Structure formats: C-alpha cells, structure tokens
Structure 1
C-alpha cells in the first residue's frame, strides 16, 4: 500500500469498527452484553459506560445480569436501561438487575434487519467520504507537482480498490448480522 493513502486506510478500518459496534448493539433475541455498550450511567457527575461500573454476566441464553461494583448505582443503572432504546425493563432484586430478552417476533426481526441495513449504508457512505477526501488530497498534491499524473492514476486506482474491498467487508458483515437476526 502506498504511504500516501495509509492514513485513509486506517480511517476506513475505524469506520468498519464503528459499523461492527453498531451491529453489536442490535439484539438478536439472545442475551448479548454488546447491547449494553452504549448505555451510559451517571457516576459521580460524569457519564460512564455501564461496563465500567458493573459486572455483566449471562447465566442463560436469554438473560443478562448486571451487578454494580457500587450498590448505590443500582437505581441509576436501572433508569439508564429503561430510558435507552433497548425496550427491556430490568428486574431489580436489590443487588442485581436482570434483563430478560424475549423471543423476537417476525415483524420485530424485519425492523431490526432494516436497522442493520441502515447502519451498513451509513458505514459505506462514510467510506466513500473518506475516499473523496483522499482523492482531493491526491489531486492537490498533483497540482502542486508533488505527484506525477501517473502516480495520481496509480493512487486513485489503489484507493478505489481499497474502498471497494472495505464496502464488500461491510456488505459481508451486514449479511451475517441479517442472517443472525432472521434465525429463529
């Protein structure tokens, strides 16, 4: 890979990581601690990720347990989960919160599949924006005579190939997540 576009490749990799984290937040009917990654809890006046203030476990395929390190956070964690877009009410037994994930209906699976496709498309748009930035940079360098026209064409082709590969990666991730959602 040409040194001129290494930083753009790194940005594309980060974009794919964001897409993966978005997909992890979409629950597929099974208990997955990844759905809690976006939950922030007010801890000493600062929003803190839930996984930093509590132990998250999965005693069975449909249940998550959340045990705060500081018991005074139990109500704050419960409230954060209730106000999130998870659509699950935690059961509080005084020491541990339990999240029971119900079986998803066919209609809900289709809604989640649409959400996954949206995340995938947003990721591909971000990749194309990175490509556009790189193309602009290459053209500026050619205009300043820092690159030859042959180098420009070579870099543009390499950049396009890299973008196509990353878009295919996102398509593959999307298809995998859709398959996971539609599995009963």
Structure 2
C-alpha cells in the first residue's frame, strides 16, 4: 500500500514538473523556437485549430520562424491569429510561407520574463507540496485504519519528504537553466 501511495505521488509530481517545462517552452527567449507558435489557435472554418495541425513550422535560423500552410486558404487565418496572439510577433507573407522575425529582447523584457519563469517555478513547487500533503494524509488514514503501523507511516512520510525535496530541486534547476537562457544575449 505504501508503495502505491509513493508511486502515485511521484507520478503526480512528475506531472507538475512536465507542466513547468511546457510553461517554460512558451516563454520567449532571444531565439526562435517552434514552441512559440505551437499553441496558437486559428479559427479554421469555424473550428479552433492549433497552427501545427494546419502548417509545417520550421526554424531556418536562430532569429526566424517559417510557417508553410498546407491549405493556401489558411494563410490569412494563420496571419490573423498570430497578429492577435499576445506574442508580439508580426508575420510577413511572401505568398509561399509566413516568415516571423524574432526581434532581440530588451533588458527590461528579459527581466520580466525571468520574473514570469520564477512564478511558474513557484506554482509548480506549490503543486508538488500539495501532492506531498495528499500523500501524507493518505498515509495517516492508512495508519488510522490500522492498515500500516505507526513506524511504517513515519518511515513512509520521510520517504515522501525526500521525494518532495528531489522534485523541488529539479524545479529550481530547470528555473536556473531557463533564467540563464533568457538573460543570454
């Protein structure tokens, strides 16, 4: 039973870490990345559709993203969706593909992005601590129901704390890497 609680907790904490990595992928750094536009949704014939399902997205160099729609009728729809997104990107339509030039970030914008990255990290840590609380509550309930002994419960809570500390360290390490990436000129 204890192993099931620990395995479930690890899985949920890993989900929080994965969510953090997805949030980091959406943060704009000085480099072009397809993840910047992956989640942008286009109103394609009345259906909200992600750009990656309508076009091939590529990064030919570190400052440019190209989007080549498979349907020529999707050009204006994708262009409009990119203009309306909060990414601050201006696509250029050359008839064959959309080109997006990624301007260099200002120092002020870099600092704002670092703050956002730290907020994402803190949110993930809170989620991990919530999982820890749930695991400890489950262990206490097992002990109360006499399914495990008090000693087993205490040892399991120590294991839960070690797992929690490990995942918090992983979050902090990911934040340090992202912060370095954002501040890199």
Q: Same fold (TM over 0.5)?
A: yes
Residue 145 of structure 1 aligns with which residue? Answer: 146
Further displaced range: 47-56 or 106-115: 47-56
Give a deviation string over 1:90-149, Cα, whole Å, max 9, x none: 112233111110011111111111111111111111111111111111111111111211
Residue 47 of structure 2 aligns with which residue? Answer: 46
Equivalent position SS for 2:115:
helix
Contact 2:5 2:138 in 1 (8 A): no
Which blocks of at least 5 consecutive residues in structure 1 are unaligned? none
RMSD over aligned Cα atoms? 1.4
Separation (CA, whole Å) in 2 of partners of 1:125 and 1:146: 29
Which blocks of at least 5 consecutive residues in structure 2 are unaligned? none
TM-score by length of 2: 0.94
Separation (CA, whole Å) in 2 of partners of 1:115 and 1:44: 34
Query: After the TM superposition, which residues 76-91 of structure 1 pair with which residues of structure 2 at under 5 Å, given as runs?
Result: 76-91=77-92
Residue 110 of structure 1 aligns with which residue? Answer: 111
Tell me the CA shift for residue 44 of structure 1.
4.2
- Count of aligned pairs: 184
Equivalent position SS for 1:21:
helix
Residue 168 of structure 2 aligns with which residue? Answer: 167
Tell me the CA shift for residue 52 of structure 1.
1.9
Contact 1:55 1:69 in 2 (8 A): yes
TM-score by length of 1: 0.94
Residue 99 of structure 1 aligns with which residue? Answer: 100
Contact 2:60 2:66 in 1 (8 A): yes
Give a deviation string over 1:145-179, Cα, whole Å, max 9, x none: 11211111111111111011001000000000000
